[in-house]
Structure 1
Amino acid sequence: MCVSDSIVTRPARLEDGEYVWPLARAFATSFTPERPAFDATWKQLVDVPGTLLLVAETADGRIVGYLLGSTHLTFLANGPVAWVEEVMVDETQRQSGIGRLLMDHAERWAKSTDAAYLTLASRRAGPFYLALGYEDSAVFFKKTLA
């Protein structure tokens, strides 16, 4: 758990899905999220080993951000690496330090798994990640499988 003056980042619980859904729906740009698929996936991801599912919660109990990450083994890094799949902060709460809290939590988690590095892909928030000390190191390719 990571705490600031008014925000706590913590592992997600099953009941948090209701509040993360609007954030996930707003985050998507390449796909249109469907609620039944989100609900099924949420239930599968909560408490899965090797998966980090965090929420950022205000002092009054509102969920204003989330992060989804995972680890996997690699040959090139001589062991595990960590990947942040999704990070989203409510539009009205951006630039308040919530994204930094979520990423700090993810970095500590990745270190605890002995990951060689933590990586992510971002098209819209490059300056944010550069400010956190990340480096632009690759081009991201994607092929949609319909």
Structure 2
Amino acid sequence: MTSDDLLIRGAEQSDGEEIFALAREFAVTFRPERAPFDAALPRLLEDEDAYLAVATVGGTIRGYLLGYAHLTLFANGPVAWVEEAMIERAYRRHGIGRRLLEDFETWARSRGAGYVALATRRAAEFYGALGYEVSATYYRKLLR
């Protein structure tokens, strides 16, 4: 794969099948189901505070990133959060995740975000190499 083969672009409704396949690979706690996915995708594509981009190699989607910009009180304005970032296993370590994250950071800056944050369980080394640092402990409580 060359950098010329890689394209980062906004996701489209027609990308649903390929994104869904990657989302199923991503999920650990939850198993994505098609009906809720199909209901959520158009809403995300219309949400101006949501960023949903895909990375294609040779026209095939090999990764995606879903993130948000939202207002805060403590940070004197908006911040950005990476909700999901997934690269197809065979295409990891080829710069796809880096390019998606850089594009998200550019998008977040354009919205005045003070920082980008995320939670990760398996990719700490990757994010550290891109200048991210541990800032807090992540807690969650399952509601269903």
Q: Same fold (TM over 0.5)?
A: yes
Shift of 1:95: 0.4
Give the alignment of 1:42-81 within 5 angstroms: 42-58=41-57, 60-81=58-79
Mapped to 2, the partners of 1:8 and 1:61 lie a distance apart of 8
User: 2:42 & 2:109 partners in 1: Cα distance?
Assistant: 26
1:85 to 76, 83, 86: 83
Which residue number in structure 1 is paired with residue 11 of structure 2? 12
- Give the SS at the match of 2:107: helix
Helix, strand or coil: the match of 2:102?
A: helix
Q: Give, in angstroms, the shift of residue 47 of structure 1.
A: 3.0
Specify the SS of the correspondent of 2:46: coil
Report runs of 4+ in structure 1 exceeding 4 Å deviation. none
Q: Which residue of 2 aligns with 1:131?
A: 129
Shift in Å, 1:32: 1.2
Identical columns (%): 51
Cα offset, 1:43, TM superposition: 1.6
Q: In the TM superposition, what is the alpha-carbon distance from 1:81 to its structure 2 partner?
A: 0.4
TM-score between the two structures when normalised by the length of structure 1? 0.95
Task: Tell me, in whole angstroms, the C-alpha distance in 2 between the residues paired with 1:24 and 1:89.
Answer: 10
1:15-34 deviations in whole A, cap 9, x for unaligned?
A: 01111111000100011111
Where do 5+ consecutive residues of structure 1 fail to align?
none
Q: TM-score, normalised by structure 2?
A: 0.96
When the two chains are superposed, the root-mean-square deviation of aligned CA atoms in Å is: 0.7
Q: Distance in 1 between matches of 2:17 and 2:61?
A: 10
Residue in 2 aligned with 1:114? 112
Partner of 1:105: 103
Deviation for aligned residue 1:121 = 0.4
Amino acid at match of 2:51: L
